[in-house]
Structure 1
């Protein structure tokens, strides 16, 4: 008798769950830096009178974060290069209208020029960062316009120097020990902190000095005599700034017809006329703006001192013998 053996079988389903944890790769520390403002504005009112010495400070802040579960010491170096392919740190240049220049420097708190070479880079001492902690510090940078490089000749407009891209460098690295180390050696990481330096030149005029016009001693019978002073007005205006000068006698006459008074009794009067040239052109003050003053003397600034000659004519000196004088007000419109 034969028996039929029948094997029963079933498939065993094995469920296997695979767990995979992928952590994002990150450096032991990460650092960043930024100027307190993206644009360091030295001044909005640069004129020939402050173009050689205007300055401002900016705060460069840097932060480092420890991404490790243990203490790390960080070393950072902050440098700034040139954006005009030059190596000069003194001066650097801002560029304005028609490629005009303003010379300036950037200096560290110890007075050293700030740059990107070993002796000009800013490197604070290494500092401790506890685990999962961010440490922040800062350094004050001084931005100064420089004398001796023609800044007083700058024309009106906005001048700027852009330190973006690879023109700035924050280099940093970390160590488990506090032993000092430099960013120029070993393995380090880099980032940038772009900023711009800016200054605005405006049209301005200033009277430097004035000189009296001395008519001398004249006989009472004198008529139509003239005196002058070729340095009566010494003034400086922004380069290429148009200006118009008006002269107003103390009596306020808009056509320059003044009256001198005797200096003792203040009783006797001696009329006179202000002129802009020997030919007899009246020099008055019939307007209070550049456009409305039509009997003044016009000119254009150069950034350097300029002098103007004032002429005075006296029609008739038939008055009581005495010393006579008057005060003339100079109005400069620009």
Structure 2
């Protein structure tokens, strides 16, 4: 059982109150010159290996719109020839296994391509949407780089993976969300080599490697609840002769939980009474105490709201709504009598979430 506590005060004024392995698989570029280059790449892993990008293992409604992770996309090229030359490398990715044509945003899901629930995310390079040459976004281009005969060069760029503001993210249920970027089509690895007399840096006529740089993007949504705000119940000002005083705040407690997460809410006065029966204290040296009762429904005999609820039993608490958006809960307070010394009376109440 996880507990989340927040405090508010009843007041009485008197009163009460988240590219395939550029496995540039030794693809030999046969040309009239003796420059023969092979390239490979890897996302968040060594060039030539399958990568994994875990945007987050604790995604909740609080970070489902902005959790992010920046990783390194690495490439390496080896000149297998006997002549020095240049090589340029271009790397790109489409929308992934969920929907290859959709990159703004891209999606991860629990149950596979095109299914719900899902999480929306973006992949950017230098704050620009990272995509493919023939699709949307911009691919990475290394520009022409010198490469000596028999040598290997390496390079890299940073790719930022970010969850974004999207209704599907707020309403995501607990689970592991994934999208696969396969080396058979979701990623692109082109390289172009030439001798030193004919350098090129645009990869436009370069080789598209059949085995590229596969990777998986994932994020894990966990059950979570939090009190987003709490406000006082002000019972107003009353004369000493006033009996059966009632008051309420229709949005005293506001709670946000991961969609589908069951929870209960308990309230406990500062005297630790689990039946919700508390006392308000005055100011200064005033020793008078005003008894009050917390309730979940209106009226002088409304349903008592205490703190015997757990994550599996309701007790005298309130059952939470589980649709994933911010929920408001009213709190009602009753006071039998105001026959006490004139003063401002208040008490602190603990809000306990059980989930």
Normalising TM by the smaller chain, what interval?
Answer: 0.7 to 0.9
Matched, 1:89 2:97: no
Name which one, 1 or 2, has greater alpha-carbon Rg: 1
For residue 265 of structure 1, report the CA deviation from its aligned partner.
Answer: 2.2
Paired residue secondary structure (1:215): strand
> What residue in structure 2 maps to residue 319 of structure 1?
340
CA contact (8 A) 2:107 2:179 kept: yes
Candidates 31, 41, 57, aligned match of 2:39: 31
Change (3 A) 1:225 1:53: same
Candidates 166, 171, 194, aligned match of 1:153: 171
> What residue in structure 1 maps to residue 74 of structure 2?
61
Q: Distance in 2 between matches of 1:92 and 1:100?
A: 14
> What residue in structure 1 maps to residue 11 of structure 2?
none
1:15-68, CA deviations, whole angstroms, 9 ceiling, x for partnerless residues? Answer: xxxxxxxxx995411111111242100011111111111100111110111111
Candidates 192, 198, 209, aligned match of 1:173: 192
Q: Distance in 2 between matches of 1:211 and 1:290?
A: 24
Change (3 A) 1:230 1:175: same
CA contact (8 A) 2:293 2:334 kept: yes
Candidates 302, 305, 309, aligned match of 1:283: 305
CA contact (8 A) 2:85 2:199 kept: no
Q: Distance in 2 between matches of 1:189 and 1:156?
A: 38
Change (3 A) 1:131 1:35: same
> What residue in structure 2 maps to residue 298 of structure 1?
319
Q: Distance in 2 between matches of 1:298 and 1:43?
A: 29
Q: Distance in 1 between matches of 2:340 and 2:66?
A: 53
For residue 218 of structure 1, report the CA deviation from its aligned partner.
Answer: 2.1
Paired residue secondary structure (1:166): coil
Change (3 A) 1:80 1:272: same
TM-score normalised to structure 1 length:
0.86
For residue 149 of structure 1, report the CA deviation from its aligned partner.
Answer: 4.4
TM-score normalised to structure 2 length:
0.81
Candidates 115, 132, 138, aligned match of 1:116: 132
> What residue in structure 2 maps to residue 16 of structure 1?
none
Q: Distance in 2 between matches of 1:300 and 1:89?
A: 34
Q: Distance in 2 between matches of 1:248 and 1:224?
A: 21
Paired residue secondary structure (1:44): strand
Paired residue secondary structure (1:225): strand
1:221-232 to 2 correspondences below 5 Å: 221-232=241-252
CA RMSD of aligned residues (A): 2.1
> What residue in structure 2 maps to residue 74 of structure 1?
87
CA contact (8 A) 1:172 1:190 kept: no
CA contact (8 A) 1:205 1:236 kept: yes
Candidates 162, 169, 189, aligned match of 1:144: 162
Query: Following superposition, which runs of at least 4 residues in structure 1 exceed 6 angstroms of deviation?
Result: none
> What residue in structure 1 maps to residue 7 of structure 2?
none
Matched, 1:268 2:285: no
Change (3 A) 1:270 1:181: closer
CA contact (8 A) 2:244 2:336 kept: yes
For residue 286 of structure 1, report the CA deviation from its aligned partner.
Answer: 2.3
In structure 1, stretches of 5+ residues that fail to align are: 1-23
1:257-286, CA deviations, whole angstroms, 9 ceiling, x for partnerless residues? Answer: 100111232410111111111252111112
Q: Distance in 1 between matches of 2:320 and 2:207?
A: 62
CA contact (8 A) 2:65 2:169 kept: yes
Higher RCO, 1 or 2 (CA under 8 Å, sep at least 6)? 2
> What residue in structure 2 maps to residue 3 of structure 1?
none
For residue 292 of structure 1, report the CA deviation from its aligned partner.
Answer: 5.2
CA contact (8 A) 2:123 2:161 kept: yes
Change (3 A) 1:209 1:256: same
